[in-house]
Structure 1
Amino acid sequence: MADNGDSCPVMAVPLAPKIQQELQTKFGSFDKGLVEVGPGRYLLPQHCRLYLDKYAQFRFRPDDVVVMTFPRSGTTWTQEMVWCMTHDLDFTTAINTPHRERSPFLDFLKQHSDVNPGTTGVFLARAESVPSPRIIKTHLPFSLLPPSILESCKVIYVARHPGDVCVSYYHLQRLFKSANFKGDLEEFLDLWCRDLVLRGPYWSHLSEAWAKRTHPNLLWLYFEDMKKDLLRELQRLDHFLATGLTEDELLQVAQHSSFANMKARPATNLSLIPESPGLMPGEAEFVRKGATGDWVNRFTPQMKAKFQAWVETGSKAVGEVPPRYTQG
């Protein structure tokens, strides 16, 4: 149990032994086990218990911008745009400085089986030490962060269709040695629909943010809207961040952060870093396709039926969620 001070204690409960064994069989790096955390029962590695207090008591600054997402929802893309917009369009630094050094990942969960995981807190320390204005990435839901976060700083929540998230996350969990998923997409979808993927459940994460969408310090973005009309969404970002950029400057941001450019740069595409120790060889790149709707091409009819059943039951179980992801 971790007590975050000004809210209810955060519970971290080990998974049932049978489920734990199943996941350890399918993920080569989950040998130390996973826990369900908080009322949303978010699936995190055991060592996260060392940091639950620190996450819940993290001191955000008034000029911080937090990019919050469920994994594979457009996080890196949004971070890159926001960082450039809030740092005087410094594209030179953006091109030459690794993304995670400029925009720290608050809750990076390293859990390699061959090391003593999570004992240094290096990413948390980096988030604390980066000079303002900080653009902080998190995959944590609101319930695992300070209750006052929206009174302390601005938060951008990016949502993406769960079918596309599932496919992209499958490839990421095969790519990262910290997960080392050994199965195929159908096996991953089965775990997804049972809320047994790292950082899940998806619907709980989405629902927590959706409930706060009218707060003036929260900007809700859809990945699909950014793909459809990026300039319009950049203008919304510009208004929210009060960066005062012209249309020409926003177009420069759009060009800098285009999929082709981000895929081609080691600063944003981890797969281009030579012999990256954290990545499995032969898997899809970290910056993969960035497509919308491709999940329908990857799921068999049986997989689509299972997925749709999960949409109907899961979304209703947590309350209100974006209707565009539950209709059709």
Structure 2
Amino acid sequence: MAGNGDCSPVMTFPLAPEIQHELQTKFGSFDKGLMKVGPGRYLLPRHCRLYLDKYVQFRFRPDDVVVMTFPRSGTTWTQEMVWCMTHDLDFTTAINTPLRARSPFLDFLKQHPDEDPCITGVFLAHAESVPSPRIIKTHLPFSLLPPSILESCKVIYVARHPGDVCVSYYHHQRLFKQVNFKGDLEEFLDLWCRDLVLLGPYWSHLSEAWAKRTHPNLLWLYYEDVNKDPLRELQRLDQFLATGLTEDELLQVAQHSSFANMKARPATNISLIPESPILVPGEAEFVRKGEFN
């Protein structure tokens, strides 16, 4: 395998037929089935088999910053802050250009408006083509990425209280047509506890990152800390990224990326895009409350 000198084959594991049937019934868009992947037995759609080796081989650049999270842990918020900090506080571009265009999503679980990532790998191609400095988003755990990632670039891992994550993820999985979860919150919680939600198990995802928390190229953030004291956490980000911003400039980033402002902009809240082809009408917004329930 090429790329960063890594060679790490990714193992896949089939689900028991009764589990497969249950998930195909509850997740309307995964009629082709799901599978468990890697040492953490992460739940992914079957089409991921086309790309697993490509993700392990992905060439990260020295000036890349990877925002890594379990879904619904503050990913969009962190991307927006980091993009602005590493792009000369270009708030005009940030307001007028969708975040997904500025900060590529490495993964393959959502639908591109023009192409099917299950067939074309469009997200992977986008991440490869974006000019430096790249702010790359991923929900993949460390074990499904190049083993040398922390020797190649910087990674920001954001963790959030599991109760908040679970509730937010439930609404998210109902919102996107490419997932189309049909159950209620109680049914989703049952799947969560059985490690049967997409990209679960949650605790395995966190523990892989926690084991690397002392590496100088990994910054661990807590969603709750950013919410409670954004300036302090932005100062930690500034030091980690070596962006050399003043306190006044960091306060500008905090204001730009406040929950109210993020929720009000189509660039960061895709629910504001009229008649979006990827969202289920009538469900909760992509940017909801930023808090529990």
Q: Distance in 2 between matches of 1:8 and 1:56?
A: 7
The residue that corresponds to 1:153 in the other structure is 153
The structural deviation recorded for 1:109 is 1.4
Amino acid corresponding to residue 130 of structure 2 in structure 1: V
Amino acid corresponding to residue 47 of structure 2 in structure 1: H
Q: Within the alignment, does 1:43 sit opposite 2:43 as a pair?
A: yes
The residue that corresponds to 1:209 in the other structure is 209
Q: Distance in 2 between matches of 1:207 and 1:171?
A: 25
Structure 1: 4+ residue segments shifted above 6 A: 2-5
Query: What is the aligned-residue RMSD (CA, Å)?
Result: 1.6
Amino acid corresponding to residue 35 of structure 1 in structure 2: M
Unaligned runs of 5+ in 2: none
The structural deviation recorded for 1:116 is 6.5
Q: Within the alignment, does 1:231 sit opposite 2:239 as a pair?
A: no
Q: Distance in 2 between matches of 1:111 and 1:16?
A: 27
Amino acid corresponding to residue 218 of structure 1 in structure 2: L
Amino acid corresponding to residue 30 of structure 1 in structure 2: F
Checking the alignment, whether the CA contact within 8 Å between 1:3 and 1:9 is kept in structure 2 is no
Unaligned runs of 5+ in 1: 296-328
Q: Distance in 2 between matches of 1:3 and 1:173?
A: 34
Which has the higher mean CA deviation after the structures are superposed, 117-126 or 168-177? 117-126
The structural deviation recorded for 1:117 is 5.6
Checking the alignment, whether the CA contact within 8 Å between 1:30 and 1:111 is kept in structure 2 is no
Matches within 5 A, 1:303-318: none
Q: Distance in 2 between matches of 1:130 and 1:173?
A: 28
Q: Within the alignment, does 1:289 sit opposite 2:253 as a pair?
A: no
The residue that corresponds to 2:109 in the other structure is 109
Q: Distance in 1 between matches of 2:244 and 2:108?
A: 32
Deviations 1:159-181 (CA, angstroms, capped at 9, x unpaired): 00110000000000000011111
Checking the alignment, whether the CA contact within 8 Å between 1:68 and 1:158 is kept in structure 2 is yes
- Structure scoring higher RCO (CA < 8 A, sep ≥ 6) equals 2
The structural deviation recorded for 1:9 is 1.9
Matches within 5 A, 1:9-24: 9-24=9-24
Amino acid corresponding to residue 226 of structure 1 in structure 2: V
The residue that corresponds to 1:169 in the other structure is 169
Q: Distance in 2 between matches of 1:3 and 1:132?
A: 21
TM-score of the two chains, using structure 2 as the length reference = 0.96
Q: Distance in 1 between matches of 2:266 and 2:137?
A: 18
Q: Distance in 2 between matches of 1:94 and 1:108?
A: 24
- The size of the alignment, in residue pairs, is 290
Matches within 5 A, 1:1-328: 6-110=6-110, 118-291=118-291, 294-295=292-293
Amino acid corresponding to residue 252 of structure 1 in structure 2: Q
The structural deviation recorded for 1:12 is 1.4
Q: Distance in 1 between matches of 2:209 and 2:178?
A: 27
